[in-house]
């Protein structure tokens, strides 16, 4: 069981990464996750948008970025345009507004398909972690076969729980994407 506990943080990292990946998918609703990690060339280095200003969503379809330093407004605007997220920034003095366009049914289906790819990637990563743990469990010395078999059964049980969590995250995000 100690070996399984060693790998739990790895399983959690997969879930966190998946949460981040599907958080960046457009749903027709404004979300800071859509742009917060975009790389912006500012002050001679590359930084994420979230390090350069605050973000808020005054309504469901508007995202407002307020840079702390007005000299980076153009850099943030350029990064958003270059990102290919399909939203044109509107610069209003020191504030950048992103108004989410209404998503068509076709775009929603594309987003669900992209999300499906992210979900499958997460499942593959979970299986890779399972294989690492399985090899380590099987290589144990001084442990009885029954103990090894029990640990492998526990490992499979935990992997199934994480796959269910992945599927639940996908179902929740799909409902969010498909809601008009």
Domains of the chain: 2-23+104-178 (1.10.132.20), 32-99 (3.30.1360.40)
Please report the pLDDT score of residue 165 as a whole number: 94
The H-or-E segment that residue 5 falls in is: helix 2-23
Give the span between the Cα atoms of 4 and 80, in whole angstroms: 42
Residues 6+ apart with CB under 8 A from 177: 25, 27, 28, 108, 111, 112, 115
What is the pLDDT averaged over residues 110-131? 91
Please report the pLDDT score of residue 168 as a whole number: 93
pLDDT tens column, 95-110: 999 888 777 788 788 8
Give the span between the Cα atoms of 172 and 115, in whole angstroms: 11
Cα 167 to Cα 104, 122, 144, 157, 158, distances in angstroms: 24, 10, 35, 15, 14
pLDDT tens column, 17-75: 988 888 777 666 777 888 888 888 888 899 998 999 999 988 888 889 999 988 999 99
Please report the pLDDT score of residue 175 as a whole number: 87
pLDDT interval class at 10 (50, 70, 90):
very high
Which pTM value belongs to this model? Answer: 0.68
């Amino acid at each position: 069981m100690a070996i399984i506990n060693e790998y739990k943080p790895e399983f959690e990292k997969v879930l966190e990464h998946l949460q981040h990946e599907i958080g960046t998918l457009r749903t027709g609703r404004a979300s800071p996750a859509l742009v917060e990690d975009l790389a912006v060339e500012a002050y001679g280095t590359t930084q994420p948008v979230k390090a350069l200003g605050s973000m808020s969503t005054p309504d469901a379809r508007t995202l407002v970025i307020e840079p702390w330093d007005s000299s980076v407004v153009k850099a943030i605007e350029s990064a958003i345009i270059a990102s290919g997220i399909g939203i044109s920034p509107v610069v209003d003095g020191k504030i950048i507004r992103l108004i989410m366009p209404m998503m068509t049914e076709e775009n929603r289906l594309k987003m669900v398909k992209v999300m499906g790819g992210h979900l499958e990637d997460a499942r593959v990563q979970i299986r890779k972690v399972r294989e690492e743990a399985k090899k380590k469990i099987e290589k144990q010395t001084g442990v009885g076969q029954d103990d090894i078999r029990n640990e492998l059964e526990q490992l499979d049980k935990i992997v199934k729980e994480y796959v269910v969590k992945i599927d639940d995250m996908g179902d929740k995000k799909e409902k969010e994407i498909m809601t008009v």
